[in-house]
Amino acid sequence: MSKETILEGVQLPNVEAGVPEKLARFVDKVKAAYAERLLGVLVYGSAARGAYVPKRSNVNLVVALERVGPAELAEYRKIRAAAERPPLATPLFLDPTYVRYSTDTFPLEFLDIRSFNILLSGHNILEGINIDPKHLRLELEREIKGKLLLARQAYLESDGDEGRLLSILSRSFNSLRVIFFGIVYLREKRVVRDVGDLVKRVCEHFGLDPTVLLEIGRARAGEIKVSKGEMEKLFFDYLEELDRMADKVDTI
């Protein structure tokens, strides 16, 4: 199903049959629970970016309240079993005060949600939030260097098992998407959605070869199969690209 009407003409691409009804029920449940305290409900993540993969992706949600405290969380716990149905994920609860004082802490995450979201109900509390480029650059550096350390450790723990190496590559590559999005936004002040385009632009900025990253993306999507004995080489090539990015991230 290429498109599904969700609520009042809102559409999500590629979601499975039945997801629109689950979202409508979710919105009804949180409206009933929070009434005037509910500011808005958003979809974010792959479903909002148009990258949703049926039977693999979750539908990520933001529930925005006037205030999120223990009482509000306890209220949701009571309705969770009735409100959440796979592939709906447990929502991210936000309030305006938290957002206002956290964009310096999570600039990349807030930039991503601000750029790719679909409003299901109420109003969007992330619209118009300011992302300081200095804070964004620091988080990008931390994330890239952290991914390199984690990939090195994961390789050692894999014992060379090719299935585990592919799983590690898939998870690591998936997490790079938002990092690449942030790099392109910081350098070009553009919102780029396509993963392949993001990879090529980042490689151009850093003087890297996109071949390895694009091959991992195709392997993750099941478009190609890495031959036996080649997985470790692909993993080492990936580590080399991460190492180069870590060296050059200060130039962003």
**pLDDT at res. 229:** 80
Q: Is 159 exposed, middle or buried (0-12, 13-18, 19+ CB in 10 A)?
A: exposed
Please name the residues in contact with 120: beta carbons below 8 A apart, sequence gap of 6 or more.
Answer: 6, 7, 10, 23, 27, 40, 41, 42, 43
Q: Indicate if the pLDDT at residue 49 is higher than 60.
A: yes
Q: Distance (Å, rounded) from C-alpha 100 to C-alpha 129?
A: 8
Give the pLDDT band of residue 74 (cuts 50, 70, 90). very high
- Higher-pLDDT residue of 37 and 175 is 37
CA angle 193, 94, 110 (to 5 degrees): 30
The percent of residues above 90 in pLDDT, for the chain, comes to 75
Give the pLDDT band of residue 8 (cuts 50, 70, 90). low
Average confidence (pLDDT) over 106-129: 96
Q: Tell me how far CA of residue 144 lies from CA of 104, 124, 149, in angstroms.
A: 18, 30, 9
**pLDDT at res. 73:** 98
Q: Mind listing the domains of the chain with CATH numbers?
A: 3-122 (3.30.460.10), 133-251 (1.20.120)
- Token pair 């004082």 is found at 101
Q: Distance (Å, rounded) from C-alpha 157 to C-alpha 135?
A: 33
CB atoms within 10 A of CB 61: 24
Q: Cis bond leading into 87, ω under 30°?
A: yes
Q: Indicate if the pLDDT at residue 2 is higher than 80.
A: no
Q: Indicate if the pLDDT at residue 224 is higher than 90.
A: no
Q: What is the reported pTM?
A: 0.89
**Is 223 in a helix, a strand, or coil?**
coil
Q: Indicate if the pLDDT at residue 1 is higher than 50.
A: no
Q: What is the mean pLDDT of the chain?
A: 92
Q: Distance (Å, rounded) from C-alpha 83 to C-alpha 24?
A: 10
